[in-house]
Chains A and B, each alone.
Chain A
Amino acid sequence: MPRSCESPAGASPSPARILADLPNVVPLTQNMEHSAPLRIVLAKVGLDGHDRGVKVVSRALRDAGFHVIYPGLWQSPEAVVRTVADEDADWLGISLLSGTHMTLVPRILEMLGAAGLKHVGVLVGGIIPETDIPKLKALGVARVFGPGTPLDEIVEFLRHEGSRTHA
């Protein structure tokens, strides 16, 4: 026979039970003292299916205590900006291995500005020729991380920069 049909979970806890739980609120509030984790959207944009790199970076940032939001492959610039807005991200990391960075990155930066998201820091990773790095930085990209970048370097950079959103 199954358990009683009306589940205990469905009923309200008794007043005595709730009062008995009260001490639990104290340790819980102590945990809140840590600084809040940075939220970073990592995005693959356009027709670029190479996601090994972005997944490795996702894992490293997760393990370093960041909150990583990964929306998947083949994002349009519009979709990326919408994700950054709705997720209230502090940072956006764009991974590009398709050679389209000089088209897509400027478009995303422009759309971020238009959406009132200029405060969001932008990082680029992937295959970016040396000569394009100063151009991307001039457009407002905070850093470009190429192949072979030690993961700690990305973590340290973000820790040092912190949030430009939630100062």
Chain B
Amino acid sequence: MLDEIVARYRAGDRLALARLLTLIARGEELEAVHAALASASNKALVVAITGSAGVGKSTLVGRLAEHLRAGNKTVAVLACDPQSPLTGGALLGDRVRMPSRPEDAGLYIRSVAATSGNQALAEHLELMTRALAAFGFDVILLETVGAGQGDTAARSLSDVLVVLVQPESGDELQWEKAGLLEVADVVVVHKADMAGAERTQAQVKELLGLPGCRPIPVLAVSSTKNTGFDELWATISAQPRRLDAAASDAGSLLRRAQQILAERFHDRATSLAPLVERWKRHEVDETQAADELLSVLSR
């Protein structure tokens, strides 16, 4: 089944892309999907957008997507909303704030249910991003769930991480506390049409502009008035691409090895079960069991 989907996907079939993304999101056939995408081109610019709940991530992503389409760049959006840790259910409502362009083949929006703090999320999102890049989208906008711990992952998944803040979020001490600003490549003071935006921008600039720090652009953007998007895109484009640099470091190799291991644990769960049973019955000791387990996993 996967072969047929991949063949259609390679031929540019959008429904096959949608199905492939579903498989990846569900963690099904990851090894095969990885293999299918291994040699695919990966020229897309991946921009992650994060910030606290209600700061306007979906709205800004929607506006930015329209801006990019006006400039003839094709855009894919992966919009994450939280999934209930209790029921596994999710209400994915980011599309409400995104442009509706049903005739436009150059825009693809996909809602993703995300569990917070789960490494699998990062894994699946990375592969989804690659599937979209290989399909030919120029820019991939990755909208995170409201900011929190998961944003470290957003950074490692993206070329450029944009952090949104909004006016009237407290005094300057709040910016000192907010660990999120540390990981930003670009900071946007969103809702810049609101009172207090200039002061917020000045405070964040002052915090990030201390001597010796790498300079981080702090921009004012208003989605309501549709202002600041030219500058935002120019700034994003001018940032060095993190994924290019990361591709060759040792950390990424080990991370990939870990992913492969996780996939094999999953795919070969049935062949591991008898081994675990034998170990429970003390028929093999831990070292032997571990050796056998490794040989199952390395096949």
**A binding-site residues for B, Cβ under 8 Å:** 1-3, 5-7, 9-10, 12-15, 18-19, 21-22, 24-26, 28-29, 31-34, 36-37, 39, 58-59, 61-72, 75-76, 78-79, 81-83, 85-88, 115-117, 166
Interface size class of B (residues with CB under 8 A): 35 or more
- Docked pose: A146 CA to B51 CA in angstroms: 40
Q: Assuming A5-B212, A65-B87, is B246 touching A70 (CB within 8 A)?
A: no
Contacts known (A25-B261, A29-B265, A85-B18); A62 close to B111, Cβ less than 8 A: no
Given contacts A61-B89, A87-B110, contact A18 B102 (CB under 8 A): no
A117: chain B residues at CB < 8 Å are 15
The stretch from B32-40, B91-99, B190-198, B229-237 touching chain A is B91-99
CA–CA, A9 to B161, complex, Å? 12
* Chain B residues within 8 Å of A, Cβ to Cβ: 14-15, 18-19, 21-22, 26-28, 83-84, 87-93, 95-97, 100, 102-103, 108-111, 113, 118-120, 151-152, 155, 176, 182-183, 207, 210, 212-214, 246, 249-252, 254-255, 258, 261-262, 265-266, 269
- Distance in Å: Cβ of B182 to nearest Cβ of chain A: 4
Kindly count the residue-residue contacts between A and B in the assembled complex, taking CB atoms under 8 Å apart. Answer: 146
Q: Are B90 and A68 in contact (CB under 8 A)?
A: yes
Evaluate contact between B87 and A63: CB separation under 8 angstroms: yes
Q: How far is the CA of A24 from the CA of B92 in the complex (A)?
A: 28
Contact A18/B255 with A58-B91, A64-B89, A166-B22 known, Cβ cut-off 8 Å: yes
Q: Are A62 and B90 in contact (CB under 8 A)?
A: yes
- Which among A29, A69, A78 is the interface contact of B262 at CB below 8 angstroms? A29
Given the contacts A2-B176, A9-B155, A64 and B87 also touching, CB distance less than 8 Å: yes
Residues of B within 8 A of A76 (CB): 100, 102
CB distance from B21 to the nearest CB of A (A): 7
With both chains docked as a complex, state the minimum distance between the C-beta of B224 and any C-beta of chain A, in angstroms.
17
B100 CB contacts on chain A under 8 angstroms: 71, 75-76, 79, 82
Which of B155, B207, B261, B269 is in CB contact (< 8 Å) with A10?
Answer: B155
User: Is B14 a contact of A37 with CB atoms below 8 Å?
Assistant: no
Select from chain A the residue with minimum beta-carbon distance to B120. Answer: A28
For the complex, what is the distance from the CA of A157 to the CA of B252, rounded to whole Å? 45
User: Across the interface, do B102 and A81 meet the contact criterion of CB distance under 8 Å?
Assistant: yes
Bound form: Cα–Cα A137–B103 in Å: 29
Docked CA distance A28–B118 (Å)? 8
The 5 closest A-B pairs by CB, nearest first: A12-B251, A72-B96, A5-B213, A78-B102, A88-B18
Can you list 19 A-B contacts with CB-CB less than 8 angstroms, sorted by A residue number?
A: A5-B214, A7-B183, A9-B183, A22-B258, A22-B261, A28-B119, A28-B120, A29-B266, A32-B26, A34-B88, A62-B89, A67-B89, A69-B95, A72-B97, A76-B102, A83-B95, A86-B110, A88-B18, A117-B15
A62 and B155 within 8 A (CB): no
Q: Give complex CA distance A108, B155 in Å.
A: 40
* Min CB–CB distance B257 → chain A (angstroms): 8
Q: Are A32 and B266 in contact, CB atoms less than 8 angstroms apart?
A: yes
Q: B76: nearest residue on chain A (CB-CB)? A: A86
Give chain B residues whose Cβ lies under 8 Å from the Cβ of A2: 176, 207, 210, 213
Across the two chains, which residue of chain B brings its CB closest to A74?
B100
Residues A68 and B92 in contact in the complex (CB < 8 Å), given A76-B102, A86-B108, A86-B110: yes
In the complex, what residue of chain B is closest to A5 when comparing beta carbons? Answer: B213
CB pair B176 A25 closer than 8 Å: no
Q: A5-B213, A12-B250, A87-B18 are in contact. List 14 more A-B contacts (CB 8 A).
A: A2-B207, A13-B255, A15-B251, A25-B261, A28-B119, A36-B28, A61-B89, A65-B87, A68-B92, A69-B93, A70-B96, A78-B103, A86-B108, A115-B15
